[in-house]
């Protein structure tokens, strides 16, 4: 593969924004979980769509792999350059291009992070709600179809991306969607690229739906003696139509991790962490209704607060859950997995997963965005310990099989990347081959993020 020829051509258009330094390559070869380091041959830092398009044209001419890079916070190895080539880091394409408060939408570049966008929006009375926990880039969030703690009310990236500008594998630049809130004009190309994990093209611009900042916000936390009643509380809350903004589950092990990492004082029991958005009266009514369900399921310690500093502390702790759980086994790495099941099967899925982990030799805290049936296990393994990693993969395999048997999916939000590739046939059957045909039609050389998403890529 003539990568050197591609690098020579790219240096002419990018200059010192094409890096081959060891530190840069190592940084872009790392990931948040257990996958080995896979450095690219070079890292490109484009400043605009034109440069991205020229970069891709050069790489297409030379058969050089191209992998997008946002903040590097994905958990399934999505941004690793498994076959070398160019890692395209979008950190310099991080601008808000246009805010339309009257239409409640915004146009941004892909390297902008969700936190930076919401800082820009403060004066407008609007906000972008999708919150995967990490301060991810919006381009990366679109690529992985991210969701997170607020999806139960505001939806995922699929629901909040109106349109995109995409550079295809041959360097063509296309636009998908419009700023209109609906369209019946042709194939839904926006939906195709959201969640494609960079295997069909590189996103260079996004048009996003915004939401009004709620008049009142309150958060609450409560504990349960067992997992079952906690999950039953979630199911009853959703079925009653209480409009939760967030409803998160953490097990006893995660509560212990919070205590050690964040200085919390949580009983080492399963907990629910919840948030309500709306009018002051509406929020109070929602909290009261939820509290009644908690009492009916013998939950204890139900306390809610509208003080911003207390809410911030609660959700900062939740967002740092991965690092808190790593602290349960100092020096460990993790296989982090997720699945999503119909809400009526959630208790069964969580309790069976907990039983599997308790029977294993490695720890695995469980937590998740259970309001939409999505939960995670953080399976802690000793780096370099092959037996432990295989046991973690076996536990993950059990979770995947269970999710599919219960009518769910192998991943609710983390995506496929490298870690879930082997399960695509089981979930999709012949439809996986159709995905491969789409991939081949748009990227016949297979240069866009190879080794991900489709068979034989």
Look up residue 264 and give its DSSP letter: -
CATH of the domain at 80: 3.30.43.10
End position of a domain, from candidates 42, 73, 89: 89
Same domain, 237 and 186: no
Same domain, 265 and 200: no
Same domain, 176 and 248: no
Q: Where are the beta strands (DSSP E) in 133-231?
A: 161-168, 173-177, 201-209, 211-212, 216-223
Same domain, 232 and 290: yes
Contact 14, 55 (CB under 8 A): yes
The total number of structural domains that make up the chain: 5
CATH of the domain at 223: 3.30.70.2190
End position of a domain, from candidates 296, 317, 338: 317
pLDDT single digits (tens) 413-433: 999 999 999 999 999 999 999
Same domain, 354 and 399: yes
Q: What is the C-alpha to C-alpha distance for residues 42 and 44, in angstroms, rounded to an integer?
A: 7
Q: Give whole-number Cα distances, 446 to 4, 189, 404, 452, in Å.
A: 18, 19, 29, 10
What confidence score (pLDDT) does residue 292 get?
94
End position of a domain, from candidates 89, 124, 156: 89
Same domain, 383 and 449: no
Q: What is the C-alpha to C-alpha distance for residues 240 and 316, in angstroms, rounded to an integer?
A: 28
pLDDT single digits (tens) 212-270: 999 999 999 999 999 999 999 999 999 999 999 999 999 999 999 999 999 999 999 99
> Is the CA virtual torsion 275, 278, 283, 289 positive or negative?
negative
Same domain, 77 and 15: yes
Q: What is the C-alpha to C-alpha distance for residues 402 and 391, in angstroms, rounded to an integer?
A: 17
> Domain residues for 405?
323-417
Q: Locate all alpha helices (DSSP H) within 162-270, ordered by sequence.
A: 189-193, 227-239, 252-262
CATH of the domain at 328: 3.30.70.2740
pLDDT single digits (tens) 363-385: 999 999 988 999 999 999 999 99
Q: What is the C-alpha to C-alpha distance for residues 284 and 130, in angstroms, rounded to an integer?
A: 24
Same domain, 103 and 193: yes
What confidence score (pLDDT) does residue 307 get?
87
Look up residue 41 and give its DSSP letter: S
What confidence score (pLDDT) does residue 1 get?
47
What are the strands of the beta sheet with 161-168, ordered from one edge?
96-100, 105-108, 201-209, 161-168, 173-177
Same domain, 191 and 100: yes
Same domain, 425 and 352: no
Same domain, 188 and 288: no
CATH of the domain at 146: 3.30.465.10
H or E element in which residue 19 lies: strand 18-19
As a whole number of Å, the CA-based R_g of the chain is 22
What confidence score (pLDDT) does residue 301 get?
84
Same domain, 100 and 204: yes
Give the list of residues 6+ apart from residue 202 with CB closer than 8 angstroms, or none.
52, 56, 66, 68, 88, 166, 167, 448
What confidence score (pLDDT) does residue 2 get?
62
Q: What is the pLDDT along the chain (457 residues), one digit of tens a residue?
A: 468 889 999 999 999 999 999 999 999 999 988 999 999 999 999 999 999 999 999 999 999 999 999 999 998 999 999 999 999 999 999 999 999 999 999 999 999 999 999 999 999 999 999 999 889 999 999 999 999 999 999 999 999 999 999 999 999 999 999 999 999 999 999 999 999 999 999 999 999 999 999 999 999 999 999 999 999 999 999 999 999 999 999 999 999 999 999 999 999 999 999 999 999 999 999 999 999 999 999 999 887 888 889 888 999 999 999 999 999 999 999 999 999 999 999 999 999 999 999 999 999 999 999 889 999 999 999 999 999 999 999 999 999 999 999 999 999 999 999 999 999 999 999 999 999 999 999 999 999 999 999 987 7
């Amino acid at each position: 593969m003539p990568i050197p020829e591609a690098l020579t051509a790219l240096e002419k258009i990018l200059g010192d924004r094409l890096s081959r330094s060891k530190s840069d390559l190592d940084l872009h070869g790392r990931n948040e979980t257990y996958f080995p380091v896979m450095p690219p041959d070079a890292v490109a830092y484009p400043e605009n769509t034109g440069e991205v398009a020229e970069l891709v044209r050069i790489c297409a001419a030379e058969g050089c792999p191209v992998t997008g890079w946002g903040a590097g916070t994905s958990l399934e190895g999505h941004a690793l350059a498994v076959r070398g080539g160019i890692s395209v880091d979008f950190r310099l394409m991080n601008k808000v291009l246009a805010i339309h408060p009257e239409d409640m939408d915004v146009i941004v570049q892909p390297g902008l992070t969700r936190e930076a966008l919401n800082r820009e929006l403060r004066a407008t009375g609007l906000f972008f709600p999708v919150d995967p926990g990490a301060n991810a880039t919006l381009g990366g969030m679109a690529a992985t179809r991210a969701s997170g703690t607020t999806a139960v009310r505001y939806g995922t990236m699929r629901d909040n991306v109106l349109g995109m500008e995409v550079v295809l594998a041959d360097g063509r630049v296309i636009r998908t969607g419009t700023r209109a809130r609906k369209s019946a004009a042709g194939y839904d190309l926006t939906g195709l690229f959201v969640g494609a994990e960079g295997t069909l093209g590189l996103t260079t611009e996004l048009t996003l739906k915004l939401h009004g900042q709620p008049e009142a916000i309150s958060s609450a936390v409560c504990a349960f003696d067992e997992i079952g009643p906690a999950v039953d509380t979630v199911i009853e809350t959703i079925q009653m139509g209480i409009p939760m903004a967030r409803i998160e589950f953490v097990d006893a092990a995660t509560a212990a991790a919070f205590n050690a990492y964040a200085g919390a004082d949580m009983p080492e029991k399963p907990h629910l962490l919840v948030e309500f958005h709306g009018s002051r009266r509406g929020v109070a009514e929602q909290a009261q209704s939820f509290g009644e369900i908690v009492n009916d399921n013998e939950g204890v310690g139900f306390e809610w607060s509208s003080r911003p500093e207390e809410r911030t502390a609660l959700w900062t702790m939740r967002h740092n859950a991965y690092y808190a759980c790593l602290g349960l086994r100092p020096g460990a790495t993790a296989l982090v997995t997720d699945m999503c099941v119909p809400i009526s099967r959630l208790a069964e899925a969580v309790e069976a997963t907990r039983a599997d982990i308790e029977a294993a030799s490695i720890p695995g805290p469980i937590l998740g965005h259970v309001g939409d049936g999505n939960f995670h296990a953080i399976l802690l393994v000793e780096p370099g310990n092959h037996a432990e990693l295989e046991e973690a993969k076996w536990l993950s395999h059990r979770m995947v099989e269970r999710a599919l048997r219960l009518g769910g999916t192998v991943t609710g939000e983390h995506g496929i990347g490298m870690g879930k590739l082997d399960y695509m046939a089981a979930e999709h059957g012949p439809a996986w081959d159709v995905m491969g045909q789409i991939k081949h039609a748009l990227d016949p050389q297979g240069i866009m993020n190879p080794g991900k998403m489709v068979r034989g890529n």
